[in-house]
């Protein structure tokens, strides 16, 4: 199949999300209370990264026990990770970068997928594989908003979820860019709050973010 319908799906998912927390879940027992805390703060679209041993079980638990969460899988580095995300029933997949193997596997699958890019050449590789909704990573470190604006010149139809170095202070500025659908980041769920089980604190961060960033 072509990547086209999936692109519409992931663009719609990103747009309604506004913000996507990047979750690194170290312990399975954190997964469900963390997801519930995020959802309680109005943040429903979650990226569970495959960075920890607990990640797959954590995503599975959230999908089973937090039906209001829209669970995607992040840090997809290769076709095996992509298969893992599909087997879990993820609603979308995100990668920090791209390889020809990953693009080929993602283009052949039904999973709405946003490959990561930081340069014009990577963007062209993604476009050539049928992907026009991309993660811009690491957003601040790879040139920030100036870099994203420069990419909008030759690639006016590409839409982004910038991630990396984004937080409460600069999220609104990124979201004001016409080619930005949503922003991602770990600031909505600080590691210290997850470790200490400060779920109310995470809900408060999300409430505040959603209040200030909600589109009219």
Residue with tokens 């170290």: 26
Q: Tell me if 144 contacts ligand 3PG by CB under 6 A.
A: no
With binding defined as CB under 6 A, does residue 143 bind ligand 3PG?
no
CA distances from 81 to 38, 56, 125 (A): 25, 10, 20
Task: Give the H or E element holding residue 20.
Answer: strand 19-23
| Ramachandran assignment for 72, one of left (phi > 0), alpha (psi -120 to 50 degrees), beta (any other) | beta
CB neighbours (10 Å) of residue 178? 8
Q: Where does this chain touch ligand 3PG (CB under 6 A) — which range of 101-109, 126-134, 179-187, 192-200? A: 179-187
- Cα torsion at 161, 176, 171, 18 (round to 10°)? -50
Is there binding between residue 112 and ligand 3PG (CB under 6 A)? no
Which among 36, 47, 91, 140 is annotated as catalytic? 47
Q: Is 93 in the site for ligand 3PG (CB under 6 A)?
A: no
Is 186 near ligand 3PG (CB under 6 A)? Answer: yes
**CA neighbor of 210 nearest in space, from 94, 65, 39:** 39
User: Can residue 184 be called a binding residue for ligand 3PG (CB under 6 A)?
Assistant: yes
Could you tell me how many residues of this chain bind ligand 3PG (CB under 6 A)? 11
22 part of the interface to ligand 3PG, by CB under 6 A: yes
The nearer residue to ligand 3PG, 156 or 183, going by C-beta atoms, is 183
Q: Is 162 in the site for ligand 3PG (CB under 6 A)?
A: no
Instruction: Reduce the DSSP state of residue 213 to 3 states and report it.
Output: helix
185 touching ligand 3PG, by CB under 6 A: yes
CB of 2 to ligand 3PG, least distance (A): 27
Residue 122 appears among annotated catalytic residues: no
Stretch binding ligand 3PG (CB under 6 A), from 4-12, 123-131, 158-166, 190-198:
158-166
User: Rounded to whole angstroms, how far apart are CA atoms 182 and 133?
Assistant: 11
Question: Residue 71 or 166: which CB sits closer to ligand 3PG?
Answer: 166
Question: Would residue 47 show up in a list of annotated catalytic residues for this protein?
Answer: yes
- The CB-nearest residue to ligand 3PG is 185
Strands (E), 64-206: 70-74, 92-94, 113-114, 116-117, 133-136, 159-162, 183-185
Applying CB under 6 A, the residues found at the interface with ligand 3PG are: 22, 96, 137, 163-166, 184-187
């Amino acid at each position: 199949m072509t990547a086209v319908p999936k692109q519409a799906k992931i663009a719609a998912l990103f747009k309604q999300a506004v913000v996507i927390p990047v979750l690194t879940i170290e312990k399975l027992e954190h997964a469900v209370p963390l997801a519930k805390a995020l959802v309680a703060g109005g943040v429903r679209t979650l990226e569970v990264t495959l960075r920890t041993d607990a990640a797959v079980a954590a995503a599975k638990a959230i999908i089973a026990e937090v039906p209001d969460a829209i669970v995607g899988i992040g840090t997809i580095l290769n076709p095996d990770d992509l298969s893992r995300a599909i087997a879990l029933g993820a609603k979308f997949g995100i990668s920090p970068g791209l390889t020809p193997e990953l693009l080929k596997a993602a283009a052949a699958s039904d999973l709405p997928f946003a490959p990561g890019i930081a340069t014009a050449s990577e963007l062209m590789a993604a476009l050539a594989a049928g992907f026009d909704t991309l993660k811009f990573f690491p957003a601040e470190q790879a040139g920030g908003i100036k870099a994203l604006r420069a990419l909008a010149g030759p690639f006016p139809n590409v839409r982004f979820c910038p991630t990396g170095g984004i937080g409460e202070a600069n999220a609104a500025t990124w979201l004001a860019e016409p080619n930005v659908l949503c922003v991602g980041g770990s600031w909505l769920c600080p590691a210290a709050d997850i470790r200490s089980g400060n779920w109310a604190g995470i809900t408060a961060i999300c409430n505040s973010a959603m209040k200030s960033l909600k589109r009219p």
